[in-house]
Structure 1
């Protein structure tokens, strides 16, 4: 179960959950690139990794800065010659109800969580494809999966990361690049004002970081969403019901309303292996094979 010889980039690792991710993965034998906006914080965590017997490199810079991210990847490659794991952890909060939210607050959250993850993943993607090995973790949230009052910007960004994960997992599969999501609940600077002291003590970030090994190890899955917090681990899935074939034409709109309970019936729901599966299921309901009907040129 060791990660000896693997090189890991953890973004937003100068404190909180990113710090415990870096310490945990460093303790598993991996070389750690500790990224953070605050250079002193990044250096302090890198020192902790080294003091614990690991190897680490601190690198200051925003995940939204393409040039700095590229320089970080270059520094890791120069020092260790490969990048095996990327943990996209960096994030910010700008919580307000949608009615009161400034659009700039929306853009900033999307920029850091979503585009920051895109920029960092793009920077290592070709390296991972070329070496035929890579593990990428996106940090999603139950706020994205299920919604949370006052977090429309954060929820939108976090659900977007699930969509990014779904497609990159498909595109990376033949290169042994596996992409997963982690949905954490932890006592950090971002969540400190949300919970009581008793709750925060039970939600130690270390309990979340322990779930990373399953997502980044040799036998990691791909397209998985791991929910972790307080020592509890669960899997979240985006499913599709079997649905009802109601046809097309006059009166169908009313039938959809009338048959709503059947449309939403969860018995026999499935996790589609890819987006095109929806088309396949829809055409199969009228006796057609979607694949055989595809234009091939």
Structure 2
């Protein structure tokens, strides 16, 4: 028995990187898989049908069931066609995992409108599109599961990725509200901030020898399979009723993220003006201030807790 027996899974960006592993692992766990991939380059250029078709061929050669789709998640009409293809081909749809995307990194003072818009369109609008195209189906059948893909570039921050970070922080907020709105109809949504060595991470520019060395050292354990395994687990009925959470997965580590909540609240009779804020409020919150560490420095939180078994 597989964790996803009887389920139909749509994986966007399923031709390469993390999406490829999500598609293959989902099939290994018994799912019928729609493998979507436009086949664009790391900056979104071009289109190539071969990555998605190669993953479909891999799944079929192992005895699984899969079909390819070559549309863009940035086009709502195209995403509607993906959903219909799943229903027409396999009789339904139960899970959507949406890691499709690319990078257009630039410091904000040099970023063009095209570099901003392209990232927001694919990552944030792309997540909206897959939800908008499928939520009616999921609500009607009283079952549906989204695995959305964020990034520590948004949750923590990373220099040179304001467009990507803003989109990925937005994905986490989108997922939380989809989970809240979907709860009464058994529609779940969780978010993963992955750490994996892929063609996208390789493209992030750096001249810092320490970061380059760390990237190479991480490659050995940071296979795309690591976050893909978490995505499959979150896709499974066995993980219900878990919803609205943000997880990290990279190397041998799994994490669960805190979500923004007030740390401490201060009240002042008559309210606050600028002078009393400077004099009374700011000194009291000093211990709570988050330092300006980016993703490469922060490591995402506390040291990992070993788990045996």
For this structure pair, what is the TM-score category when the shorter chain's length is used for normalisation?
A: 0.7 to 0.9
Specify whether residues 64 and 255 from structure 1 end up closer, same or farther in structure 2 by C-alpha distance, changes over 3 A only. same
* Offset of residue 265 of structure 1: 5.8
Aligned alpha-carbon RMSD (Å): 1.6
Among 261, 264, 267, which residue is 1:242 paired with? 264
Structure 1 position 216 matched with structure 2 position 235: yes
Looking at structure 2, the residues matched to 109 and 248 of structure 1 have their Cα atoms a distance apart, in angstroms, of 44
Equivalent residue number for residue 37 of structure 2:
36
Separation of aligned partners in 2, 1:264 and 1:49: 54
Q: CA deviation at 1:263?
A: 4.2
Q: From the superposition, tell whether residues 232 and 97 of structure 1 become closer, same or farther in structure 2 (CA, over 3 Å).
A: same
The answer to whether residue 196 in structure 2 is matched with residue 174 in structure 1 is: no
User: In the alignment, is residue 136 of structure 1 matched against residue 158 of structure 2?
Assistant: no
| TM-aligned CA distance change 1:28 to 1:243, over 3 Å | same
**Which residue number corresponds to residue 74 of structure 2?**
64
1:205 aligns with 2:224: yes
1:247/1:42 Cα in 2 relative to 1: closer, same or farther (>3 Å)?
Answer: farther
C-alpha distance in 1 between matches for 2:177 and 2:283: 30
CA drift of 1:42 comes to 0.7
- Given the two structures, how large is their TM-score scaled by the length of structure 1? 0.85
Residue 73 (1) aligns with residue 92 (2): no
Describe the shift of the 1:261–1:84 C-alpha distance in structure 2 as closer, same or farther (beyond 3 A): farther
Cα distance in structure 2, aligned partners of 1:107 and 1:46: 31
Alpha-carbon distance, 1:261 to partner? 4.6
TM-score normalised by L of structure 2: 0.82
Whole-angstrom distance in 2 between the partners of 1:94 and 1:127: 34
Query: Larger relative contact order (C-alpha < 8 A, sep ≥ 6)?
Result: 2
Count of aligned pairs = 265
Q: How does 1:245-256 map to 2 (within 5 A)?
A: 245-249=267-271, 252-256=273-277
Given that residues 241 and 265 in structure 1 are in contact (C-alpha distance below 8 angstroms), is that contact kept between their aligned partners in structure 2?
no
1:192 deviates by 1.7
Evaluate the alpha carbon distance shift between residue 59 and residue 131 of structure 1 in structure 2; reply closer, same or farther with a 3 A threshold.
same
Q: Distance in 1 between the 2:33 and 2:262 partners?
A: 39
* Runs of at least 5 residues in structure 2 that lack an aligned partner in the other structure: 40-48, 205-211, 289-309
Separation in 2 of the partners of 1:261 and 1:139? 37
Unaligned runs of 5+ in 1: 267-297
Cα deviation, 1:99-122, whole Å, max 9, x if unaligned, reads: 111111000000000001111111
SS of the equivalent of 1:3 reads coil
Q: Is the 8 A contact 1:207 1:230 kept in 2?
A: yes
The corresponding residue for 1:271 is none
State how 1:260-271 maps to structure 2 within 5 Å: 260-263=282-285
